[in-house]
Structure 1
């Protein structure tokens, strides 16, 4: 793991770097992420296009190999009111490695806040691209669907 800062952005080389940036961001947000999961398609690919609507609490990842769309976490429950927008890196690339993290309510395993962090596969920029308050129940079940 080697997060390095270039200008105003952080860059990394591994999913561990993504998780480190997510954790740092979540601490600054006062809802520290304590559970994490890396996205992986059924086909084995780990690179995705990402669409989110933070207001609705919806995230959709699309596999760059097989094209399968996957509603992340509890997004299926909120899709009707969502207007997801595609994420783009500062280098204009739209393909990312994704790590999701959640904070939980004290003394429980219930999700309190959701974060989605990305690493651009072109320039290696690392950052949290979406986060929202989330009352999704059990953290393990939620993260199993990212």
Structure 2
């Protein structure tokens, strides 16, 4: 597990690399992610296409194995106002392993900020592809839905 910088982007080979990049990004953002969860479909698959609308606070992952769509975190609460757009890696691949992270309000388990980190399964680029302020009541419940 080691991040490698090539040009302006970071690359890694494990979900731990994605989590490390997510943590670094969140620190720079001023709301450090302190709890994390990797996405896994009910079918057991761990690779997904990702659509997000950061303004609405919505993320949808689509399993590359079974095709099931899954609303991430509290996205179901904000879907009516959303216009999600698909993410694509710089290598033009659209399949990722996903790692979610949340910052919480000090002294609580309430979510303050949500981050979605991606690792491209084609070129191994890692990065935070979406983030937004979030006011979910409990970080564990929120992360159980990513």
The two structures share one fold, judged by TM-score above 0.5 = yes
Q: Give the CA deviation at 1:2.
A: 1.1
4+ residue runs over 6 A deviation: none
Q: Find the aligned partners of 2:16 and 2:48 in 1 and give their Cα distance.
A: 17
Q: Find the aligned partners of 1:84 and 1:135 in 2 and give their Cα distance.
A: 20
Which residue does the alignment assign to 1:10?
10
Instruction: Give TM-score scaled by structure 2 length.
Output: 1.00
Deviations 1:86-122, CA, capped at 9 Å, x for gaps? 0000000000000000000001000000000000000
Q: Find the aligned partners of 2:134 and 2:2 in 1 and give their Cα distance.
A: 30
Considering only aligned residues, what root-mean-square deviation do their CA atoms show, in Å?
Answer: 0.2
Q: Does 1:26 align with 2:26?
A: yes
What secondary structure sits across from 1:61 in the alignment? strand
Q: Find the aligned partners of 1:81 and 1:103 in 2 and give their Cα distance.
A: 24
Which residue does the alignment assign to 1:110?
110
What secondary structure sits across from 1:65 in the alignment? coil
